[in-house]
Structure 1
Amino acid sequence: MYLTLLNGTGFVFNVDDYMELRSKHRIMGAPVGTANTKGWSPNQSTLPVELTKFETQLILDENIAKLVDKSQALKNPPTEDELENYKTDFESRLEGQKEALKTEKLRETERYMEKILMGKRKKLIKQGKNEMAAALTAEDVLKEMSDSFKFDRQNALVEVPCEHLEKHSARIVSGPIVNVMSLKYRIFKDLWKQGTFVTSGDAFGADFLVYPGDPLIYHASHIVIIQDTPTIKPLDLVAKVRLSVIVNKGCVFAYKNENDEEIRYQSVAWCNLIK
């Protein structure tokens, strides 16, 4: 599996790769493409999928995929042969649409053939062409439809591929894209290794959100707040715990132990004694 390096992080362009990352490796990312011609909508987003830098680095650390840089190859102007191949392929796609539409038109004509024949015969009779009306057959109607069929290219569906149609040369990116020794990345990786789904917690005023399963099915169970030290200021403690109550999630403070540098977690719950 290969991730494409764009804007300093990994992108996934293949749907099978993304489903494997999501279902097997619990990597979410964020679809940033759109199939909506009127503009981007988060509810209609599709491939490609943009991974966070932490997700990209985790994938590299776990040897799940490789990160490749195609920027040089994609900046090169196409050769005459490549342009000719593209035009031939494009024409083939349009021709395929034309034939598919024509076949569907003829199928619809056959479906309502009795009504069509009746209408055409009545029209011929009104014009005084009784013999032509009597001789009109279904084959005549189908031939007329086939001969008069026109395909307006302006209304053609132009395929927007999720992947590059042709192979490109690429450079393997071997160096880390984030500081793997930073506390935030270490905590992200540690939470992931515990079998959870981990996403950004920016929308909830936290560092991370932790899900017990796929976020499409489950709500986040905890917000994670990262502390540089085990000491938590009282006002920060109250603010973050009250925040977790408002969003109906558990509150977890993550920090490193001052003695052995190991990551520690402290869960805090709001208790209302009045009730």
Structure 2
Amino acid sequence: MYLTLLNGTGYVFNVDDYMELRTKHRIMGAPVGTANTKGWSPNQSNLPVELTKFETQLVLDEHIAKLVDKSEALKVAPTPDEAVEWKAQFDSRIAGQSETLKAEKLRETERYMDKILAGKRNKLVKQGQLDKAAALRSEDVLNEMAQNFKFDPQNALVEVPCEHLCRHSGKIISHPLVDTSSLKYRIFKDLWKRGKFVTSGDAFGADFLVYPGDPLIYHASHIVIIQETPIIKPLDLVAKVRLSVIVNKSCVFAYEGDDGAGIHYQTVTWCNPSK
């Protein structure tokens, strides 16, 4: 599996690769492509999928995928033969969309043929063309639709997010994207190795969100706060725990123990004595 290096992190352009990352390796990423022709919407996004730097580094460390930089190859001007080939591919995609839309229009016409025939016949009767109205058949309507069909290339979907259609080359990136010795990355990796679904917690004032299953199905169950030391200031403790209560999640403080035993997790819950 190959990830494409863009903006300092990995992107997935192949839907099968993304589904494997999500279902088999619990790597969520975020679809950032446009899924409609009326502008980008965060609720209707599509491929490609942008992975966080931590997610990208993790799949590299676990040898799940390789990271490829294609920037140099894709900046090179095409040769005359490549330009001709690309133009032929482009025209073929436009023609394919035109034929598909035409076939769909004809299917829709057939679906409502009774109403269309009735409307056209009534119009001809009002115009005094009784013989023409009586002779009108469904084949005539379909032939008229096919002859009058016009496809505007401005409405074509040409920027389909997928793997590159043309030949290209790239180089494998071997250097790390993040500081793999940092506490935040090591906690992210440790949570993942424990079988958790982990995403960024920025929107909830935390470092990470932990889910009991795929975030498409489950809400996050915990927010994770990273502490550089085991000592937690009382005001920070109250603020973070109250925040977790507001968003209906458990609060977990993650830190590295002084005993050198690795990463520790402490779950804190809010207790209301009045209840």
- Alignment check: 8 A CA contact 1:13 1:162 kept: yes
Secondary structure of 1:169's match? coil
User: Match of 1:46?
Assistant: 46
User: Match of 2:14?
Assistant: 14
- Alignment check: 8 A CA contact 1:94 1:156 kept: no
Secondary structure of 1:49's match? strand
User: Match of 1:186?
Assistant: 186
User: Match of 1:204?
Assistant: 204
- Give the Å deviation of 1:135: 7.4
In 1, the alpha carbon distance for the partners of 2:254 and 2:135 equals: 87
User: Match of 2:159?
Assistant: 160
- Alignment check: 8 A CA contact 1:121 1:134 kept: no
- Alignment check: 8 A CA contact 1:69 1:170 kept: yes
User: Match of 2:172?
Assistant: 172
- Give the Å deviation of 1:14: 1.0
User: Match of 2:69?
Assistant: 69
In 1, the alpha carbon distance for the partners of 2:17 and 2:101 equals: 33
Distance 1:105 1:62, change over 3 A: closer
Out of 233-242 and 48-57, give the one that drifted further.
233-242
Distance 1:274 1:175, change over 3 A: same
**TM-score, normalised by the number of residues in structure 1:** 0.87
Q: Which amino acid aligns with 1:52?
A: T
Percent identical across equivalent pairs?
A: 69
Secondary structure of 2:43's match? helix
- Residues 98-153 of structure 1, C-alpha deviations (whole Å, 9 max, x = no match): 333444455556663754884687589x469x6x888777666655554x334243
- Alpha-carbon RMSD across the aligned residues, in angstroms, is 2.5
Secondary structure of 2:267's match? strand
User: Match of 1:236?
Assistant: 236
- Give the Å deviation of 1:15: 1.1
In 1, the alpha carbon distance for the partners of 2:6 and 2:37 equals: 23
Gaps of 5+ in 1: none
- Alignment check: 8 A CA contact 2:57 2:176 kept: yes
**TM-score, normalised by the number of residues in structure 2:** 0.87
In 2, the alpha carbon distance for the partners of 1:239 and 1:254 equals: 16
- Give the Å deviation of 1:36: 2.9
Distance 1:210 1:194, change over 3 A: same
Distance 1:142 1:8, change over 3 A: closer
Secondary structure of 1:159's match? coil
Question: Which structure is larger by alpha-carbon Rg, 1 or 2?
Answer: 1
In 2, the alpha carbon distance for the partners of 1:96 and 1:63 equals: 39
In 1, the alpha carbon distance for the partners of 2:120 and 2:243 equals: 71
User: Match of 2:2?
Assistant: 2
User: Match of 1:149?
Assistant: 148
Q: Which amino acid aligns with 1:160?
A: E
User: Match of 1:255?
Assistant: 255
Distance 1:213 1:142, change over 3 A: closer
Distance 1:76 1:137, change over 3 A: same
Q: Which amino acid aligns with 2:243?
A: L
Matches within 5 A, 1:105-144: 105-107=105-107, 112=113, 115=118, 118=121, 122=125, 126=128
Q: Which amino acid aligns with 2:218?
A: Y
For these two proteins, the number of residue pairs brought into alignment is 271
- Give the Å deviation of 1:175: 1.2
- Alignment check: 8 A CA contact 1:224 1:252 kept: yes
User: Match of 2:56?
Assistant: 56
Kindly indicate whether residue 103 of structure 2 is the aligned counterpart of residue 91 of structure 1: no
